[in-house]
Structure 1
Amino acid sequence: MVKVEKSPNYKRIATEEAFCPVEMLDLWKKVLASPDCDPGFNSLIGFYMSSTAARPQHIMKCLTDLGEQRLAHMDESGIDRQVIALTSPGVQVLDTDSAVSFVKVANDELAQAVRNHPDRFTGMIAIAPQNPAEAAKEIQRGTELGLRGIIVNSHTHGEYLDDPRFYDIFAAAEANGQPLYLHPNTPPRNMIQPMLERGLDGAIFGFTVETGLHALRLITAGVFDKFPKLQVILGHLGETLIFQADRIDYMHQATVRSNRYESMKAIDRKPSDYLRNNFVITTSGFAEEKPIRYVLDFMGADRVMYAMDYPYQHSNEQVIQLDNLNIGDEDKVKYFQTNAERVFGIE
């Protein structure tokens, strides 16, 4: 793999980078052994934990390291700082008590890694949405630990955050000035089967379908009317929503006017307005210039950030490709560095 030199013009801050405590692997093994294991979890984590192929072996080795190996890979890739989060699905596949208990272990481990390497690592707060009140407390505790941002690996046992019972999480995010990173998970039981039949349930397609759905549910349920200061980060160029925004606006308005669904009511603004004002987009997994420039034009240069998606998409060649984006020097500094510093409160 080609080595990437540090940029003289900006720091490269990678904003969607994953880790997994070793102890979590034991918890996941128990879930995999259960008689009613979630099919998406079995397809994703079951594969990574059992495959002998080079890529999954590399990923599993890198996920559990918060020290010299990770730093060496960052140096080889020219990455100045990683914003690190508990990998998907984190504790969200566990039972409620186990999730609430273990999320503290994960956050303590990540906070210690940040203290060990304060100039290289920023950590996000993991929560257990299974218990929203405890999740809100963990957001407060994680903030006090110095963690920045909240990681939610999309649905939790098929439940989505637009349900009002989860609103304590949004209230705590607003109160602590913390953005919420809505990261992909495999689709839930009632969505996944046609994808499994053709191997499309993971990052190739299923992730973006499921996570884009989650984000759109938040918008159309009026979450941002209730929590106007809430900022949500979406990876992978916005999980396709940016490219569909005009059609979403039109069809949302038409559906509301028709009273077709009891569950779809008028909201204060167009869906695209919330995308532009309550979301920040990362380019994790993408390096092609045309779609990135489209997203930059749609969102504005202050709302798009770089991410590598380490260790799942660990490509030094893509770093070089992104360095050569045909955008202005000021916008490139925002993209690689200053937007992340602002969004995550990095000093």
Structure 2
Amino acid sequence: MTESGTPSGEDPTAAALPGSADRLRIVCLEEHMSTPGLVAAWTARSLPFGRGPLLDRLADLAEGRLAAMDDAGVDVHVLSVSGPGLEQLPAAEAVALARDANDRIAAAVAAHPDRLQGFVNLPTPDPAGAAVELRRGVEELGFRAGFMFGRVGDRNVDHPAFDELWATAAELRVPVYLHPAQPPQAVRDAYYSGLGNPAADFAFSTGAIGWHYDAGVQLLRMIYGRVFDRHPDLQVVVGHWGEVVLFYAERVQLLDSAMHPALDRSLPEYLRQNVFYTPSGMYSQRYLAWALDIVGADRIMFSTDYPYLPDIGGGASRDFLEKADLLTEQERHLIAHGNWERLTARPSAA
């Protein structure tokens, strides 16, 4: 491991697509899909999810997706289940649907190995089952990371029930992507309701800000709930430029002095040694500058949040990286593909 907690290996900036040595290779990490079983489960429980053309794009793991990737100017999608995910489903159903989704992703990756990769989607309503599925996904399907939606019911990610999952991820040396989830109903009622129409309330509680506060709280609970103290090599990934946490890191650090016994490290150390960050399609040079200042280029990766954000076609994703004057060429390659390749490199055989 390097000092920043990233697995060491060959220089990732040397990699490029075959036959295009001068082209920036872009790997995207928050790129969603769905399955018929998931759609049926969400529908049966009246959970909100993308319908119409969005659902068509989520279901397409072949030519339509590849064409959209080409239009956005990106090379690889690392596939994961779309929201509302698995977290609101009964445990046994979540396990079965996670396994089905992971198998479908594996088949798509086998068909397009140069364009698609997969996350192990974790059935966290059954924490022990999630650990088992993570191991299966890594050892049998060849995936390189796990994916979850954070809090499950009244269990936050630092709950003891999840410690087996975190231990398994640390043992396998695979990161886990911590995706936002809709806040609990009581929080939605108290904080995000009353704007005059259900659509506004829903947007307020999800993509406008509610998702990001919820995911940021989960990340902070991993730090202050001592998950990283128990598993110091564990790596997680969060989207949306750190889910608010990076923008309030200096203020949040007030918690450090309140912890008794003290944490093993300071908040900035956890943020730089155990966490990676992606933009999730939020193509802001100001946010990029802030993230570079707080954690550095070797902790930033790339994502577009396919298929949810508008105007991701026409090469906008590629333009964001290629036209970022803040970045050196080495930093550009690290963010576009190099950090992911180092983070997910498998240990060499002895």
TM-score bin, normalised by smaller chain: 0.7 to 0.9
Choose which of 218, 221, 228 in structure 1 pairs with 2:225.
221
Go from structure 1 to structure 2 and tell me whether the alpha carbon gap of 1:313 and 1:8 turns closer, same or farther (over 3 Å shift): farther
Deviation digits for residues 163-199 of structure 1 (CA, Å, limit 9, x no counterpart):
1111010011011111000001111123111213332
Show the counterpart of 2:35. Answer: 21
1:255 is matched with 258
**Stretch deviating more after TM superposition (127-136 or 223-232):** 127-136
Deviation of residue 61 (structure 1)? 1.3
SS of residue in 1 equivalent to 2:68: helix
| 1:195 corresponds to | 192
Q: Distance in 1 between matches of 2:120 and 2:317?
A: 28
Stretches of structure 1 lacking an aligned partner (at least 5 in a row): 1-5, 33-40, 50-56, 257-263
Q: Helix, strand or coil: the match of 1:66?
A: coil
Aligned match of 1:98 in 93, 99, 106?
93
1:7/1:78 contact within 8 Å kept: no
Aligned to 1:65: 60
CA distance in structure 2 between the partners assigned to 1:188 and 1:346 by the alignment: 37
Give 4+ residue runs of structure 1 displaced > 4 Å after superposition.
Answer: none
Instruction: State the 1:78 CA deviation.
Output: 1.3
> Which structure dedicates a bigger proportion of its chain to helix?
1
Structure 2 spans left out of the alignment, 5+ residues: 1-19, 196-200
Structure 1 counterpart of 2:281, one-letter code: G
**What is the aligned partner in structure 1 of residue 324 from structure 2?**
325
> Contact 2:256–2:263 at 8 Å: present in 1 too?
no
2 CA distance for matches of 1:102 and 1:318?
A: 31
Shift of 1:109: 0.6
1:10 and 2:9 equivalent?
no
Structure 1 Cα separation of the partners of residues 88 and 21 of structure 2: 39
The question of whether the paired residues in 1 share the 8 Å contact of 2:74 and 2:317 is answered with no
Aligned length: 315
**Mapping of residues 164-313 of structure 1, within 5 Å:** 164-193=160-189, 194-198=191-195, 199=201, 200-249=204-253, 251-256=254-259, 265-313=261-309
- Identity fraction in percent: 31
Aligned counterparts, 1:142-153, within 5 A = 142-143=137-138, 144-153=140-149
Q: Hey, what's the Cα distance between the residues in 2 that align with 1:284 and 1:83?
A: 13
Give the deviation of 1:85 after TM superposition. 0.7
The secondary structure found in structure 2 opposite 1:209 is helix
Measure how far apart 1:286 and its partner are. 1.5
Looking at structure 1, the residues matched to 257 and 143 of structure 2 have their Cα atoms a distance apart, in angstroms, of 42
Question: CA 1:58 to 1:323, structure 2 compared with 1: closer, same or farther past 3 Å?
Answer: farther
1:221·1:265 contact (CA, 8 Å) conserved in 2?
no
Q: C-alpha separation between the residues in 1 aligned to 2:176 and 2:194?
A: 32
3-state SS in 2 of match to 1:201: helix
Distance in 2 separating the partners of 1:59 and 1:343 = 30
Partner SS state of residue 142, structure 1 = helix
**After superposition, what is the alpha-carbon deviation per residue over 1:55-91, rounded to whole angstroms, capped at 9, x for unaligned?**
xx33211111101100010111111111111112322
Query: Is the 8 Å Cα contact of residues 304 and 335 (structure 1) preserved in structure 2?
Result: yes
- The 3-state SS of whatever aligns with 1:252 is helix
- Taking structure 1 as the reference length, what is the TM-score of the superposition? 0.86
Amino acid at match of 1:115: A
Question: Cα offset for 1:346?
Answer: 8.6
Q: Aligned ranges for residues 67-146 of structure 1 at < 5 Å?
A: 67-143=62-138, 144-146=140-142
Match of 1:36 in 2: none
The CA RMSD over aligned residues, in Å, is 1.8
Q: For the structure 1 residues 72 and 346, does the alpha-carbon distance in structure 2 shift closer, same or farther, using more than 3 Å as the test?
A: farther
What's the CA shift string for 1:17-71, capped at 9, x where partnerless?
0001122111111111xxxxxxxx4xx32xx34xxxxxxx332111111011000
- Letter of the structure 1 residue corresponding to residue 319 of structure 2: I
Separation in 2, partners of 1:70, 1:95: 30
- Distance across 2 between alignment mates of 1:235 and 1:152: 12
Alpha-carbon contact 2:72-2:318 (below 8 Å) kept: yes
Q: Following TM superposition, by how much is the alpha carbon of 1:265 offset from its aligned partner in structure 2, in angstroms?
A: 4.9
Mapped partners of 1:197, 1:319: distance in 2:
39
Q: In structure 2, what residue type is equivalent to 1:267?
A: L
SS in 2 for 1:83: strand
Superposed displacement of residue 318, structure 1? 4.5
Instruction: For residue 92 of structure 1, give the secondary structure of its aligned residue in structure 2.
Output: coil
C-alpha deviation, 1:101, in angstroms: 1.6
